[in-house]
Structure 1
């Protein structure tokens, strides 16, 4: 074989290897580019949009999110159990995720970043991880209160005063994680019998049961009711957005709270992308995003700086809210509530 022919064969072989290697790189890049993620989200919409945008920017994973209340998310995941359309449950009280795990709807995943969360903020089996904490209370319209000569409610019993008849809004515990937290709080505080009796009395004071847990604070801010039972950070959000008549109070005998959480939906598509999202949610940077778009919850990452506007809520008296019990008894308790208010 002459030297020219040998050189030609050698160059051909090298080009083949280079092309093959280049093709492999393109395929790998394509695989990474093609990662997609669908999220069912219980956060406020502006917080959801910001989180999706930043996660895409940080990871390159194409992401879509659908905003729903916690009860709606749980119902959707149940309905899609045999063919899940989404891979992440993002935001809303962890009670819902506890129930989802009980029903076999969530995947276990312990993120390496979970080490930066206290044990109370994460599921011991890895079904959910906490990303924020919100306190339950009353968002009241001080202009309406002044007109009626009534003080803002400072206890659960205050809501039963004649002056508040038809002037209280809360969400439906069947659809809303916020409202379920209120129901579970009252039952844990008073006992089941007295708690359900209280909810029956409160029913007579309610103007509307909303689908979303953020709506009662907004309705109070708009002057449509005197009091909304809501998470207090939602009331602060609406006040900062211009509803200046809103004032926040919490029941002096104690109130419940949410651990807003993230979890992976069992059998959902793009599990690799789902794990990336959970990892990202547990970072200091991701947790501090909320306050840039009006979400003023306390945070779970040990180094994350909570919003300054949450400072006013620090003195809120909290009960020892049993999250595990609340999650495992959700369906039964909502059913008992339905019967109690009829």
Structure 2
């Protein structure tokens, strides 16, 4: 956890207040080496006795009474200050999907969607270029929550971070359909068309799980992997792909 974020997740517990005894605090911290140094320097500088207990982000949030996020409103909780990982919608389809979802949840009102993002801003750790990076940040406890497509979180779980939990916003959430197209003026259009046909084939779309990619296949003859999200169990917004397309 970053040094500046320590104060954001610190749990201060009063351990004595008699006149004969110095004040003492206990800091819940996720970075042992830094915390050991910081509490010592703090005590030397202020005279206040300090100790620390090592807690991961998840453990610290659980002790502050925060449960796994299950709604877009939960992400605005001030206790998540600097704890939400998300990409920037100008560079990431994942983040743009999240932005457009807010518009749809507000009856298509784009100003309302931007207003939500402004309210979320104080809680954002930083804006990544890539949407999947937020899963890694949550996995490594740099952030408490990552806004990602669900299969990115599942992939992180398989890479050795079993404490991650996939949740979906109860108000509804957006989704994407992976795009595939032949560019005008391609040097080898025949070969490109062959690739498009192959990419849509069952043989191709069965490859995803081999690289921990558990998105739903678009080929209806390919069964969904058991680790893929079940659309029937998730509340989805009526996502209009053409309306969501940003202006050129």
Q: Note if contact 2:88-2:128 (Cα within 8 Å) is conserved in structure 1.
A: yes
Partner residue in 2 for 1:177: 93
Aligned counterpart in structure 2 of residue 278 of structure 1, from 196, 218, 221: 196
Q: What pairs with 1:204-243 in structure 2 (closer than 5 Å)? A: 204-243=122-161
Using the TM superposition, give the Cα deviation of residue 274 of structure 1 relative to its aligned residue in structure 2, in angstroms. Answer: 0.6
Partner residue in 1 for 2:76: 160
Partner residue in 2 for 1:250: 168
CA RMSD of superposed structures (Å)? 1.6
Partner residue in 2 for 1:293: 211
Distance 1:142 1:306, change over 3 A: farther
Structure 1 range deviating more: 160-169 or 312-321: 312-321
Cα shift readout 1:281-304 (whole Å, capped 9, x = no counterpart): 111111110011100011111110
Q: Secondary structure at the match of 2:154?
A: helix
Partner residue in 2 for 1:189: 105
Q: Note if contact 2:58-2:141 (Cα within 8 Å) is conserved in structure 1.
A: no
Q: Secondary structure at the match of 1:207?
A: strand
What is the distance in 2 between the residues matched to 1:154 and 1:251? Answer: 5
Q: What pairs with 1:1-342 in structure 2 (closer than 5 Å)? A: 142-190=58-106, 191-310=109-228, 314-327=232-245, 330-331=246-247
Bigger share in strand: 1
Q: Note if contact 1:287-1:299 (Cα within 8 Å) is conserved in structure 2.
A: yes
Q: Secondary structure at the match of 1:257?
A: coil
What is the distance in 2 between the residues matched to 1:323 and 1:222? Answer: 33
Query: Any gaps of 5 or more consecutive residues in structure 1?
Result: 1-140, 333-342
Query: Any gaps of 5 or more consecutive residues in structure 2?
Result: 1-56
What is the distance in 2 between the residues matched to 1:331 and 1:205? Answer: 28
Q: Secondary structure at the match of 2:142?
A: coil
Using the TM superposition, give the Cα deviation of residue 142 of structure 1 relative to its aligned residue in structure 2, in angstroms. Answer: 4.1
Using the TM superposition, give the Cα deviation of residue 144 of structure 1 relative to its aligned residue in structure 2, in angstroms. Answer: 4.8
- TM-score, scaled to structure 2: 0.73
What is the distance in 2 between the residues matched to 1:228 and 1:179? Answer: 11
- Between 1 and 2, higher relative CO (CA 8 Å, sep ≥ 6) is seen in 1
Bigger share in helix: 1
Q: Note if contact 2:202-2:219 (Cα within 8 Å) is conserved in structure 1.
A: yes
- TM-score, scaled to structure 1: 0.53
What is the distance in 2 between the residues matched to 1:236 and 1:251? Answer: 17
Q: Secondary structure at the match of 1:204?
A: helix
What is the distance in 2 between the residues matched to 1:315 and 1:144? Answer: 30
* Count of aligned pairs: 190
Larger radius of gyration: 1
Distance 1:209 1:312, change over 3 A: same
Distance 1:311 1:198, change over 3 A: closer
Q: Note if contact 2:215-2:229 (Cα within 8 Å) is conserved in structure 1.
A: no
